[in-house]
Amino acid sequence: MIIKQQYPVIEYDDDKDALISPEHIKVLLGDRPVVDKLVITFFKEVIQTLLAEGKIEHFITISGENDLVVYKFVDADVLILHGIIGCPACAGFLDDMIGLGVTKIMFCGGGGVLDKNIPVGHILVVQGAIRDEGFSYHYVAPSRIIYTQNDVRSTICNYLNEQGVPHFEGIVWTTDAFYRETKARIQLRKEEGAKIVEMEQAGCIAVAQFRNVKYGAIIYAGDDVSQDVWDSRNWQNRKSIRFNLVEICKQLVQKI
């Protein structure tokens, strides 16, 4: 049921049925078997390297105005795709993948730190996201923060501990508009406990909750937006960190 509110974005409708459903996507599989594990990464160069080395192969392309190209690891029943910036694109495509039969998802990306003391490359296990965007409100009733599943986070943290990978848990700030990260808004999000700002987690977590699938995310500390002047910290050139995160997520998605 939907009830009119002052602002459309909080007019949540709990009706599970919609005019269009991602379930119709499954027909595109044809004779291909369902693969239920997926890694979403924003590291395009890692996908290119994996392709060049023959470690992944094309699985399926979902054609549209923006094609969704999905690959599969050669040595594991795990899919991988390159995420697109923003909740409507990234989380929307995630819903397509769930329609294909995916039930376990690991996300790896980078984000801007809200604390200068967090070093570049340090890994955040996403505990939840401040919902400063619009997409998630169509999947989950309004709340200030949306949280990931406790059991998935525990599995992630236990694995990282076993592998000796430094990490910490925390919430992120999901925003639609990185050109509107004002000083006042940044300060408010810091006071709320956000450690990193990014653009996808609230939406992805909401889709996973709505569709009742397993979802986990690790984000590495990138540029610094906590100071008076933005510092890129050369975060996009941390090639080894980015490659290793994809491999970690490949292992994790088989455990959650």
What is the extent of the structural domain holding 225? 22-252
Note the pTM of the prediction, 2 decimals: 0.92
Q: Is residue 223 part of a domain?
A: yes
Q: Is residue 203 part of a domain?
A: yes
Q: Please state the rounded mean pLDDT for residues 118-125.
A: 83
| Of 12-26, 92-106, 166-180, minimum mean pLDDT range | 12-26
Q: Are 128 and 147 in contact (CB under 8 A)?
A: yes
Amino acid occupying residue 76:
A
Kindly report the CATH number assigned to the domain that includes residue 214: 3.40.50.1580
| Angstrom distance (rounded) from CA 230 to CA 226 | 8
Handedness of CA 52, 76, 121, 196 (dihedral sign): positive
How many domains does one find in the chain?
1
Q: Is residue 14 part of a domain?
A: no
Residue 233 pLDDT: 47
Cα 206 off chain centre by: 11
Phi, psi of 159 (to 5 degrees): -65, -45
Q: Where is pLDDT greater, at 238 or 81?
A: 81
Amino acid occupying residue 148:
T
Q: Is residue 158 part of a domain?
A: yes
Assign 227 a pLDDT band (cuts: 50, 70, 90): low
| Angstrom distance (rounded) from CA 97 to CA 37 | 10
pLDDT reading at 97 higher than 70: yes
Q: Please state the rounded mean pLDDT for residues 12-31.
A: 87
| pLDDT tens per residue, range 196-225 | 999 999 999 999 999 999 999 999 886 555
Phi, psi of 81 (to 5 degrees): -145, 160
Q: Is residue 224 part of a domain?
A: yes
Q: Is residue 154 part of a domain?
A: yes
* Percentages of the chain per state (helix, strand, coil), in multiples of 5: 35, 30, 35
Q: Which two tokens stand for residue 78?
A: 């795990």
H/E element holding 202?
A: helix 201-211
Q: Is residue 17 part of a domain?
A: no
Amino acid occupying residue 212:
N
Q: Is residue 143 part of a domain?
A: yes
Q: Are 152 and 249 in contact (CB under 8 A)?
A: no
